[in-house]
Structure 1
Amino acid sequence: MLTFDDYKAKISIIQILEDLGYKQDISKGKISPVFKLTDGTGNKLDEIIIKNPHSVQEHYYDRNYKGGDLIQFIKNHINDFPQFQHQNTFVRINMILGHYANEPYTPKYEAFKTVKTENKSFDRDRYKEFPTTIADLRFLTNERNINHQVVEKFLPFITRVKDLQGNGNYYNIGFPYINPTDKDNKVTNYELRNYGFKGMAAGGDKSNSLWIADFCPHPQMAKHIYFAESALDAMSFYQLNANKIKLEESVFCSVGGYISPNQIKNTLSRYPQAKVHTCFDNDLNGNLYDIKVHGIISNSEIAIKENKDDVLFKTKGREFSINKNDISLESFREKSKIVAPMISHKAEKAKDFNEILMKQHEQKKSIKL
């Protein structure tokens, strides 16, 4: 039986990245190659840097899990391999390693295209919605550990979607996007999730639209808006804080992984009385998203430039840098002297709020064993 060291000698992280659909961004060089994963419209979903490629010292770094070796990569991306299932995580990891160790590998050398393809307009008729029950959402309940009670509350804002132009007879979970300024609430996009898949609808509007779960009787009665990077994060945040949240006063939104100013502005125009909460990831990008929302709320122009060790901020009359390890909404407020009425929530000892639910589930499984 092969050991983890044996597998690291036989398998490159790059082999697995390419199999998962990542492509190398050759503009970043070859010494420490950068691989990017994009959705159907060219928007970046993930970025991974490889150090010491094709060697036993090979390591990866990404914005989600900080980094590690081949084994850590598989462990942190275990949900990208739905075809390998086992209750024991380490058995499941060995199943995945065994698969790739026996697969012949030839580098694809398929370059990431830095120029996006021309976006097609969103074809609403391309995506057919189907009636959805909690039983249809096992990915949320079984795989992502969002409990049935929470899924039931959010069910009016979730659907199942079939891409009529896609390959295969399968359905994805769809979180419909709307433009908050549109009184008719026409669907303009979908945030799509499934086992081993996440993306957006082809040609969907993400500049002005977002997923909105509105539990208020009237927009003017909304007292709290919770912005998250994904619908899963928003639902997970609610599950972890349900005893502190009055649902009938709350609106939950997903920006779909990155922020555009109009997503925030349009939402605030619809809910002018609501206080803003952000529930973004507990990492550099998540902290920068907090700062961007803060700038939008305070009507402040903020220029952000990321350097190797720090981030340069330019606001009206001020220019300053903050070390990447120290960046937070609080440190930005202290340096910029700009204060806006918003609250930033961060997952404690985790990247995001769904990761907390996943860890709680693993701990329960360990106790049972």
Structure 2
Amino acid sequence: MMFEEYKAFKEKVGVDDVAAYLGYKLDRKAGVGKYVEYNIRDGRGRKIDSIVISHPGDKSSQTYFHRNGASGGDAISLIKANINSFGVTGSSEAEMLAAVMSKLTSDDTFITKAEDRYRDMKPQTFDIGRFQMENAAEHFEAVMSFFRARSIDEETVRTFLPFIMRVTDTEAQYKYKDLAFPYTKPGSEKIEGFELRGYNNFRQKAPGTNSSSAAWIADFTKEQPDSAKNVYFFESGYDAMAFYQVNKSRLILETSVFVSTGGTFSSQQIKGITDYYPQARYWDCFDNDIPGILYGVRMESQLSGQFVNIITTDDTIIFQKGADELRLKKEEVTLPKVREKLGLERHIYVWKAPKAFKDWNDVTMNKPMKDLPIKSKYQRNENLREKRRKGTL
């Protein structure tokens, strides 16, 4: 998003407005002058965070800092630090930020531009007619060029061929042939969008993709939802396929469903999928980073029917459920720990990538978040298998 758009937003919405939306209250006892103090309290009235805001009379100039010494910033910084508290969805932080800016100003112009191929397009209804669709099996080698770069093998791709395709956006300036993961609603064959992947790490959803109630759903139960035993949730189709590749010896494919939400998810997506597969066990396979961990918490909160407010500071995450409040260092946050401390019922099981890796595709690529002195177990097994194939063992 451009500097001019940030500037226009901050002329309308100050740090104080964002803080108020998040539940912070003006502390008049601290004084009202060149600086003002806003506090947020838990259900018992205990102060859990304080921020000091400059220039209370000039929204565009407002900045803030935390009383506890944590860093601050401007209105945009405060939104980013609490991006999961605004009830918006998006496939990236930039997309979610634009949605929050639009929400707080009731101004759609903040979401008409994105740093992508479709930056000049306004939000619209998905039009499948603009895409030339090709059967992935008929262009297998071309499709494999995408997957080889992600260390996803031919056996895995052949397994998922019914759920992927190659598409060309005929209305785009450049007619790229992209890999597409089609979005559908549970039980429907109607395509309502695409999760697109292309060269040079291109990743985006097609214009108008229904991310509210549709998702990429690779259902291997032969349209028998009651026979689904496990539904696995991911942030991308690549991650889902990589997960299968790494763990296939432990999976029963015929009773499995793999879902990509393309990043963050909506409550309608989760409700639609869990309602359609009521007998299944649901698995949090989201990324190992903070957003991915919080996706699992949000999903558990939704399925438990108990709202959990999430507040993120520089190094701490605060979870509030009614009068209960839990503060954890970012590196300590896990779904099981939050569930136990807040007394949430268990609806979600966790099967994330090994801790050294951000996601399952990074496992197949042997791409840890930090350099490891040894290879992953999966990588060692793959090396052993390759040596046996070549007859060097």
Secondary structure of 2:211's aligned partner: coil
Q: Report the counterpart of residue 363 of structure 2 in structure 1.
A: 356
Partner of 2:266: 260
What is the alpha-carbon distance in structure 1 between the residues aligned to residue 132 and residue 341 of structure 2?
Answer: 49
Listed as ranges, the matches of 1:17-36 within 5 Å are 26=6
Aligned partners of 1:331, 1:148: CA distance in 2, in Å?
38
Aligned to 1:125: 129
Q: In the alignment, is residue 205 of structure 1 matched against residue 210 of structure 2?
A: yes
Question: Shift of residue 131 of structure 1?
Answer: 1.8
**Equivalenced residues, count:** 273
SS at match of 2:353: coil
Name the residue aligned to 2:189.
Answer: 185
Q: Over residues 140-174 of structure 1, what are the superposed CA-to-partner deviations in whole Å (9 max), with x where a residue is unaligned?
A: 43100111111101000000111010122321001
Give 3-state SS (helix, strand or coil) of 2:231's partner.
Answer: strand
Change (3 A) 1:318 1:26: same
| Alpha-carbon contact 2:220-2:257 (below 8 Å) kept | yes
In 2, Cα distance between the equivalents of 1:46 and 1:316?
27
1:280 correspondence with 2:286: yes
Query: Is 1:270 aligned to 2:276, yes or no?
Result: yes
CA contact (8 A) 2:90 2:264 kept: no
Alignment gaps of 5+ in structure 2:
11-62, 64-72, 81-88, 95-107, 113-121, 367-374, 388-393
The amino acid across from 2:164 in the alignment is I
Contact 1:191 1:199 in 2 (8 A): yes
1:1-369 maps to which residues of 2 (within 5 A)? Answer: 26=6, 43=90, 45=92, 115-117=110-112, 118-133=122-137, 134-180=140-186, 183-196=187-200, 197-217=202-222, 218-348=224-354, 349-359=356-366
Q: 1:128 offset after TM fit, Å?
A: 1.9
Q: 1:221 to 1:45 in 2, by over 3 A?
A: same
Deviations 1:58-113 (A, max 9, x none): xxxxxxxxxxxxxxxxxxxxxxxxxxxxxxxxxxxxxxxxxxxxxxxxxxxxxxx9
| Alignment partners' CA distance in 2, 1:114 and 1:239 | 42
Same amino acid, percent of matched pairs: 34
Q: Which has the larger displacement, 219-228 or 355-364?
A: 355-364
User: With structure 2 as the length reference, what TM-score do the two structures score?
Assistant: 0.64
Letter of the 2:271 counterpart: K
Alignment partners' CA distance in 2, 1:277 and 1:143: 27
Shift in Å, 1:319: 2.1
Separation in 2, partners of 1:184, 1:284:
32
> Which 4+ residue blocks in structure 1 deviate beyond 3 angstroms?
22-29, 31-34, 360-365
Alignment match, 1:12: none
Runs of 5+ unmatched residues, structure 1: 1-21, 37-41, 48-112
Give the structure-1-normalised TM-score.
Answer: 0.67
Conserved? CA contact 2:144–2:154, under 8 Å = no
Asked if the contact 1:222–1:249 (Cα under 8 Å) also holds between the matched residues in 2, the reply is: yes
Residue 316 of structure 1: how far off its partner (Å): 3.2
CA distance in 1, matches of 2:109, 2:323: 34
CA contact (8 A) 2:213 2:272 kept: yes
d(CA) in 2 for partners of 1:270 and 1:258? 20
Secondary structure in 2 aligned to 1:187? coil
How far apart, CA to CA, are the structure 2 residues paired with 1:314 and 1:128? 47
